[in-house]
């Protein structure tokens, strides 16, 4: 069933396609202000102006959205269903103006009304519906899917509260709630005609149908309704628009009414609150999978809505048997892995399929991306929780497990240990469901997110699966969208790039390689430097205005911004800062350029060690500031509330990118890519995508240090951090400082937990890598003292980062995993 065109309804599509010129935008802006916001110039607030502009822009993108939807429905294509518990989209206005190519027109329109576009762009907040890398990756992939004409729907959760806002009080992180919807969200469209009912709890009934086949009915104890909110995602340089469909939970009213009628009004209200809690708040943990029931409810809730919605759309056009031809389902980590039993359940219990039919469809549609090797981040859920919440799904999981382990026993006779390891059920004091194993048995393809990570995945966490199913495994190295992280964030650099390589580089980032030729051109280098300098000045102005933080734009800007985590080793960065401080205050000759060490990032609210690292950053900052000698050449600053918007200010200004995780621990990293694309040189370990970045830009333009992943494994046994300290007097002095009264603001015990952990176990080999890191930093200083050489390397970094565009990643997924073709939407 193809929807009729607008023409069939006597609507002239050209007439409703809105003008992209300044005059049309101005007219619509005023109309929006008046008719949607009931305001007029004079009484309108900045938020009104912002909303009016956003709504005028939204109208202009709806047109594309509708024509894309029609093109997709008409043909025989596969659609990607990207399932992710997180999307870290960033501000929308600037990006949508860029995609529509109407930034200048909008600027002019507002200018005529005495308003500033930049102020409105600046005014916009962001939907912080993710923690960090994984959520931002999902957003970059949505951008690339749209730009490359791949039909895709991103499914997720419309959290009412996104990631907390971070404030700093007396050097400590304080979490503030992120009420991102409170001033209205002009980008989303609620679909009132769609809702899906999601069950929880209850019991199952088994019976035989007239043909003697087993039929199972799940009778949930409670139901919640999922309602969709769509956010359009525009492609760049094409006519395509995809969308993100985020599900909000509302109470299933039938149930309320029942309770109400038997006089249990309070219970009915409680049920409603409980239901609506499901989409209330994003869990602020990355990398630790605490077994909270509500989190499991969230995961099942959105996955169930997504699959029911996919089936609804499918059945409008064809039959359920074609599911796997029409959809490629991508699991962004294991968070949506209940898609496996849910799809099985829907196909069997609701659509009458046999096990084998349903299993064939499930295993032909689903693929799984792994984002971590760290044991504490691998999701497992207590079996009894699963049994209580999702009794039917647990039955299906058991059945999958039985069939699967039978196959393994047959292929590896007598290997009980292997069977134990591969089982979907973990035995132990508490029996658990192992979500990585669940995702792996059912997936057509399993990928890691950088070459090193994919190899380690095959060698460690999923070794048995890789042995049993080698063909399922592949690598797709992460990428980032150059639209947001170069064009939007760094317009001055973009202009310079375009002058040299011409148009088209934003959708074909390999073309930036054309900059290689001008890296040796002194005049070009000067212009490149001027751009970096202007970006540093812009950042410095904002830091001063917004946070009262002083940074000198003539100093080297050394940046580490990412979630605070022990494995990411912000502590190593700070030990180096203390080492520098110690030398400077002793008046030791330092020939180097002055530098600002900038850190930014959120710590999970319950992660005490990470929060202490934030406190330490402020302590080091103050210590340096108090010393007249040190502060002439060194400054340490912490920028509060790292999010996409702030990231876009920081990346263009950065000169040194700190990618210093313990080798083998960072699956990929993506900040590393964003920084290098903006002309920062990397100091880093051979971890995650650093390995590939170094290969791409050339080893001589990358500051490498530290143990390799293999050396880390080998060093673990018999590692004695105290021996490292004993052999390195400078390190000993630095650690003395860490435990000192002057750093602790009178309390020498303040940082004792960090010091103790380093000396006793140092699980992340901070001390083991300290000396190599300091040496690499000295090399950094020497190169920075030669601006021509430094700038040449920076230009070559930009020139050679083409392969880290998320467009390349998405092409890899389309070819190796989804096996699908692009669908060009006609420009109309």
CB 754, CB 616: distance < 8 Å: yes
Q: How far apart are CA 809 and CA 800, in angstroms?
A: 16
Shortest Cβ distance from residue 294 to ligand 26Q (Å)?
Answer: 10
Contact predicate 521/796, CB 8 Å: no
Task: Provide, rounded to whole angstroms, the least separation between the CB of residue 476 and ligand 26Q.
Answer: 10
Name the catalytic one among 49, 158, 563, 580: 563
Minimum distance of ligand 26Q from residue 493's CB (angstroms): 23
Phi then psi for 361, rounded to 5 degrees?
Answer: -65, -45
Q: Please identify, using beta-carbon distances, which residue of 283 and 327 lies nearer to ligand 26Q.
A: 283
**Contacts by 371-375, CB closer than 8 A, 24 or more apart:** 371/133, 371/134, 371/332, 371/333, 371/449, 371/667, 371/668, 372/287, 372/333, 372/667, 373/453, 373/456, 373/457, 373/460, 373/461, 373/664, 373/665, 373/667, 374/287, 374/567, 374/665
Closest to ligand 26Q by CB, 390 vs 823, is 390
Closest approach of Cβ 708 to ligand 26Q, in Å?
Answer: 17
Q: Is 670 a residue of the active site?
A: yes
End-to-end CA distance of the chain: 22
**Is 674 designated active site?**
yes
Which of 22, 53, 31 lies closest to 119, judged by CA? 53
Q: For ligand 26Q, which is the closer residue by CB, 443 or 668?
A: 668
The single residue of 674, 694, 803, 808 carrying the catalytic annotation is: 674
Sequential DSSP letters for 389-422: H-HHHHHHHHHHHHHHHHHHHHHSTT-HHHHHHH
Q: Measuring CA to CA, which residue among 129, 124, 125, 123 is closest to residue 161?
A: 129
Least separation in angstroms between CB 550 and ligand 26Q:
32
User: 247: which 2 tokens?
Assistant: 């599900």
Give bridge partners of residue 169 from the DSSP assignment: 172
Q: How far is the CB of 282 from ligand 26Q (least distance, A)?
A: 9
* Residue nearer to ligand 26Q on the CB measure, 449 or 731: 449
Exactly one of 568, 580, 595, 645 is catalytic; name it: 568
Known catalytic residue at 568: yes
Nearest to ligand 26Q of 494, 805 (CB atom) = 805
Q: Is 351 a catalytic residue?
A: no
Which of 79, 334, 617, 670 is an active site residue? 670
165-169 and 172-176 strand pairing? antiparallel
Selected catalytic residue, list 196, 308, 562, 602: 562
Under 8 Å between Cβ of 267 and 259: yes
Complex with ligand 26Q: residue 39 or 335, whichever CB lies closer = 335
Quote the least distance from Cβ 517 to ligand 26Q, whole Å: 32
Q: What is the phi/psi pair of residue 107, to 5°?
A: -60, -45
Quick check: 334 and 629 in contact, CB under 8 A?
no
Please give the structure tokens belonging to residue 176: 């503030």
The nearer residue to ligand 26Q, 311 or 389, going by C-beta atoms, is 389
> How many other CB atoms are there within 10 angstroms of residue 60's CB atom?
21
Instruction: Tell me the chain's radius of gyration from C-alpha atoms.
Output: 28
Q: What residues line the site for ligand 26Q (CB under 6 A)?
A: 131-134, 137, 283, 285-287, 289, 295, 335, 371-372, 377, 379, 449, 478, 666-670, 688
Provide CB contacts within 8 A for 277, sequence distance 6+: 249, 294
Q: Which listed residue (78, 272, 308, 371) is catalytic?
A: 371
Report, in Å, the least distance between residue 86 CB and ligand 26Q.
Answer: 6
Q: Is 645 a catalytic residue?
A: no
Q: Which residues are catalytic?
A: 371, 562-563, 568, 670, 674
């Amino acid at each position: 069933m193809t929807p009729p065109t607008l023409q069939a309804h006597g609507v002239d599509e050209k007439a409703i396609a809105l003008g992209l010129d300044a005059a049309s935008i101005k007219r619509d802006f005023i109309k929006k202000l008046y008719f949607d916001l009931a305001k007029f110039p004079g009484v309108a607030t900045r938020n009104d102006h912002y909303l009016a502009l956003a709504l005028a822009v939204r109208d202009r993108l709806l047109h594309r959205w509708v024509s894309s939807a029609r093109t997709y429905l008409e043909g025989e294509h596969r659609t990607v269903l990207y399932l992710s518990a997180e999307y870290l989209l960033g501000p929308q206005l600037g990006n949508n103006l860029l995609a529509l190519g109407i930034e200048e027109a909008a600027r002019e329109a507002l200018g005529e009304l005495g308003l500033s576009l930049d102020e409105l762009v600046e005014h916009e907040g962001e939907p912080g519906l993710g923690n960090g890398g994984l959520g931002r990756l999902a957003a970059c992939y949505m951008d690339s899917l749209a730009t490359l004409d791949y039909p895709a729907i991103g499914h997720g959760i419309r959290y009412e509260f996104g990631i907390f806002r971070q404030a700093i009080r007396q050097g400590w992180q304080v979490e503030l709630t992120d009420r991102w919807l409170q001033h209205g969200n002009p980008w989303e469209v609620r679909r009132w005609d769609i809702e899906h009912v999601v069950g929880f709890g209850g019991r199952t009934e088994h019976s035989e149908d007239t043909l003697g086949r087993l039929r199972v009915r799940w009778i949930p104890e409670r139901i919640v309704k999922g309602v969709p909110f769509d956010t359009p995602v525009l492609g760049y340089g094409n006519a395509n628009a995809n969308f993100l469909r985020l599900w909000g939970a509302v109470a299933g009213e039938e149930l309320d009414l029942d309770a109400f009628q038997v006089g249990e009004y309070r219970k009915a209200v409680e049920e409603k609150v409980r239901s609506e809690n499901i989409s209330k708040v994003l869990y602020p943990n990355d990398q630790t999978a605490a077994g909270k029931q509500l989190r499991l409810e969230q995961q099942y809730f959105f996955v169930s809505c997504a699959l029911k919605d996919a089936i609804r759309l499918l059945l409008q056009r064809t039959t359920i048997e074609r599911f796997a031809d029409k959809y490629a389902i991508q699991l962004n980590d294991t968070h949506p892995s209940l898609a496996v039993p849910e799809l099985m359940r829907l196909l069997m219990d609701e659509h009458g399929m046999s096990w084998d039919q349903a299993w064939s469809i499930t295993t032909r549609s689903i693929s799984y991306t792994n984002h971590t090797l760290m044991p504490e981040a691998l999701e497992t859920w207590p079996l009894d929780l699963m049994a209580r919440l999702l009794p039917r799904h647990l039955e299906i999981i058991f059945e999958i497990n039985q069939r699967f382990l039978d196959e393994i026993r047959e292929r590896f006779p007598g290997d009980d240990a292997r069977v134990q390891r591969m089982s979907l059920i973990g035995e132990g004091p508490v029996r658990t469901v192992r979500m990585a194993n669940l995702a792996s048995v059912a997936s057509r393809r399993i990928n890691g997110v950088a070459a090193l990570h994919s190899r380690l995945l095959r060698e460690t966490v999923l070794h048995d699966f890789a042995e049993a199913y080698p063909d399922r495994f592949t690598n797709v190295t992460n990428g980032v969208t150059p639209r947001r992280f170069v064009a939007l964030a760094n317009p001055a650099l973009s202009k310079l790039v375009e002058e040299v390589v011409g148009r088209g580089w934003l959708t074909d980032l390999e073309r930036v390689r054309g900059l290689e030729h001008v890296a040796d051109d002194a005049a070009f280098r000067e212009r490149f430097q001027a751009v970096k300098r202007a970006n540093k000045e812009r950042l410095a102005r904002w830091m001063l205005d917004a946070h009262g933080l002083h940074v000198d734009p003539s100093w080297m800007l050394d940046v580490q911004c990412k979630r605070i985590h022990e494995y990411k080793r912000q502590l190593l960065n700070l030990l180096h800062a203390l080492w520098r401080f110690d030398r400077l205050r002793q008046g030791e000759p330092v020939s180097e350029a002055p530098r600002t060490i900038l850190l930014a990032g959120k710590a999970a609210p319950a992660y005490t060690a990470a929060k202490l690292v934030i406190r330490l950053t402020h302590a080091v900052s103050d210590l340096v500031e108090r010393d007249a000698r040190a502060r002439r050449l060194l400054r340490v600053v912490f920028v509060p509330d790292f999010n996409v918007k702030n990231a876009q200010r920081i990346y263009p200004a950065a000169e040194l990118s700190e990618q210093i995780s313990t080798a083998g621990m960072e699956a990929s990293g993506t900040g590393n890519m964003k920084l290098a694309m903006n002309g920062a040189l990397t100091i880093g370990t051979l971890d995650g995508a650093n390995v590939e970045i170094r290969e791409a830009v050339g080893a001589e333009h990358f500051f490498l240090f530290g143990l390799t992943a293999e050396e880390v494994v080998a060093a673990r046994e018999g590692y004695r951090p105290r021996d490292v300290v004993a052999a390195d007097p400078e390190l000993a002095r630095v650690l003395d400082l860490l435990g000192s009264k002057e750093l602790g603001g009178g309390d020498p015990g303040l940082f004792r937990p960090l010091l103790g952990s380093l000396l006793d176990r140092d699980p992340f080999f901070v001390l083991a890598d300290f000396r190599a890191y300091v040496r690499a930093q000295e090399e950094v200083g020497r190169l920075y003292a030669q601006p021509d050489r430094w700038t040449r390397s920076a230009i070559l970094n930009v020139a050679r980062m083409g392969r880290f565009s998320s467009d390349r990643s998405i092409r890899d997924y389309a070819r190796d995993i989804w096996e699908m073709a692009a669908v060009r939407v006609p420009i109309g």
